[in-house]
Each structure stands twice: as structure tokens, then as C-alpha cells.
Structure 1
Amino acid sequence: MQTESGTDFNDVMQRMTGLLVGAVFGAVFVVVNAQSPLNTVAVNILRVAACLGAASVLAMWFASARKERPTAGPQRNMFGRGYLIVVFAEVILLFGGIRVLTAWERPEQTNVAWVAFVVGVHFIAFAPIWKDWSIAIPGVVLTLLGVAGLVMVSTAAIAWVPFVSGVLSGVVLLTGTVTFGWRAMTARTA
């Protein structure tokens, strides 16, 4: 069974759940990494905006769940084997990479850049699995922000790595999730 707009309930809810996960991680990126050298006012504005962005995606998730009805029959599963393989590889790269960076005695800011890089690459890997190339866009941006941070760690701009690789990555995730969530909501009401 399909909804009024011709989309499957399970597909809508899987997409909205993916957006919600992205929004939560985007908010975490901002809240954890918004710090000095930014001033206190900027830090607080960024943190509040990040939480509001994540809350708006949560509200869209609930609105979708309330509006849509479950469908019967075979369903596409976004969170199947391909998803699990990518997430498994991501966890290995994240934690293994941070351990290697620690063993190499790299500055702590390197970890933020590494996380942004790996998260970006994992979005790119999801694009062919989910057959949705729009997810590669934030993936490329996060990957580039991670690379920028990895380069910045060896410069006098090291204090800005959490902003560039952390806060800006969070802003990209939040902007994308709010935008795609809003588009999904308005497409179903149109």
C-alpha cells in the first residue's frame, strides 16, 4: 500500500529515521566542538541553533509517523546488509584511526578532523547502496572539511580545527537533514 503521494510508508519512515540520525549527530558535532577560539555568544548561538535544528527534524519525524500509515507486502530496507557493512567499517576506521593517531602522538584536534573525514566517506559509500546520490553531497563536504582539518593540525590554525571539521560538519549535516526533511514533508502535502 502506498500513501497519497505514491510513496511507501516504510520508505518514508526509513528516510525520516536516517534524517533524524543525521540531525542528532550534526547537533552533537556542533555542541561538542563549538568552543574557543569562538566567543561565548557565538558558541551559545551555534549550540542553540543546532539543538533547534535537530528538534525540528524530530518534529518532522513525528509528523510523518502520525500522518502516514504502514503498508503491507515486501519492503525495501535501507538498513540492510550494505548499511551494516558500511557502519561496521566506519566504526573500525573511527576507533582504530583514533588509536593510531594517539599512538603517533598527534594533537587531540586531529581526532575531530578524522571523525569528519570518516563520516563523510561513509555517506559517500551509502549513495550507491541506497541508490540516492543526494547523500553523497554532504558526504563530499564532510570529507573535505575533515581533510582541511587534518592539514590545519600541522599549522598555526590548529585551534580552528574543531570549528572547521566539527562545527561546520555539524552545520552541513543539520542543514541537509532539515532541508531534505522539509522537502519530504511538503512533497507529501502537495
Structure 2
Amino acid sequence: MLIGAIFGAVFVVVNAQSPLNGLTVNLLRVAACLGAASVVAMWFAAARKGRSAEGAGQNMFGKGYLVVVAAEAILLFGGIRVLAAVESPEQANVAWVAFVVGVHFIVLAPIWQDRGIAVPGVVLSLLGAAGLVLAAAGAVTWVPLVSGVLSGAVLLTGAVAFGWRTVTAA
């Protein structure tokens, strides 16, 4: 929850830029920071009530998780090097990151026995793929919005929803 909120906010803050106007950029950045702050507050509220704010508990970060994260790191950095080698525009990097992060959620769903995280995973993967298509088509101005801002919004929305569910659980 915390990781998703922080990375979601970072995706929005870093990628909110042209072609959006300055007011929209600033509103998106403020909303992203407020969303992340609300998740942090909900995490503390859940901890104070003695509820798990991170879901499955101790086994979440076992061997399966470590294998997925190691593969994710290799794919992230290796893919960015490949994109540079084939002279893709720099904006394609955010699309690749969104794609790989999305796939990582899809793969973690059965490991964590939580199909719910596959949904944002599919959406992030699609937004990443869309950004890669935009970059290849020369529409690089839109890649940060599609693969960065929208992906960040998906991560933040999921973290806020999970936090709210955790805090309000009976």
C-alpha cells in the first residue's frame, strides 16, 4: 500500500508536464501528493487499530516475491538499455517502466493469493504498452501522460482504496 502510493505519486509528479497546461500540471501534482499523504495517514490509523495495513502479512515477502522483484529489476534496467540501443525516444522509458511494473503485479497476484492486485497490473501493463506504441509512432509528447500520469493515478487509486478498506473494516 505504501509502496504503491509513493511510486504512484512519483509517477504523477515526474510525468505531469506538457502537453498539459501549467494549472493542470500543478493540480495533478498536488492531488498526487495529497493522495499519497492520505495513504500514509490511513496506514498509521490501521496500525493504531491493530489491523494489518499490508494485507497477507509475513509471507508476502518470501521466495516467490524475491524472484519476481529480481526479474523485475533485470527487465527494468535491461529493457531501458535495449530501448537506448535501438534509439527509442527517452519518453519510451516511462512506458517500459509502467509495463514491467504492471506485469509484476499480475505475476504477484497468484503468489500473494490476491487476484485484486492483478487488476491494476493489467491496467498498468496496457498503459505501458500504449506508451510504447505512442513512442514508436512519434507521439512522444503524450507518453508521459499516458504511461506516467495515468499509471500513477492507477497506483494511487488502488492504494487509497485498499487503505480505506483496511481502515473502515469492521
TM tier relative to shorter chain? over 0.9
Please say if residues 46 and 166 of structure 2, whose CA atoms lie closer than 8 Å, have aligned partners that are also in contact.
no
Task: Give the deviation of 1:156 after TM superposition.
Answer: 4.4
Deviations 1:69-97 (A, max 9, x none): 79xxxx74101111111110000000010
> Counterparts of 2:51 and 2:76 in 1: how far apart (Å)?
37
1:55 aligns with 2:26: no
Is 2:70 the counterpart of 1:88? yes
- Unaligned residue ranges in structure 2 (runs of 5+): none
Letter in structure 2 aligned against 1:31: V
CA offset at residue 154 of structure 1? 2.2
Deviations 1:34-75 (A, max 9, x none): 0111111000000000000000110011111222179xxxx7
Relative to the length of structure 2, the TM-score reads 0.94
CA distance in 1, matches of 2:51, 2:37: 23
Q: 2:147 aligns with which of 146, 165, 168?
A: 165
- Higher Rg: 1
* 1:5 match: none
How many pairs were matched up?
166
The one-letter code sitting in structure 2 at the alignment partner of 1:20 is L
- The structural deviation recorded for 1:31 is 0.5
3-state secondary structure, aligned to 1:77: helix
Query: 1:17-166 maps to which residues of 2 (within 5 A)?
Result: 19-68=1-50, 76-166=58-148
Q: CA RMSD in A?
A: 1.3
Q: Find the residue that maps to 1:36 and give its secondary structure.
A: coil
Partners of 1:101 and 1:177 in 2: CA distance: 30
The aligned amino acid for 2:11 is F
Task: Measure, in 2, the Cα distance between the counterparts of 1:69 and 1:100.
Answer: 43
Match for 1:98: what amino acid? I
Cα distance in 2, alignment partners of residues 110 and 156 from structure 1: 10
The runs of at least 4 aligned residues of structure 1 exceeding 4 Å deviation read none
CA contact under 8 A between 2:92 and 2:131: conserved in structure 1? yes
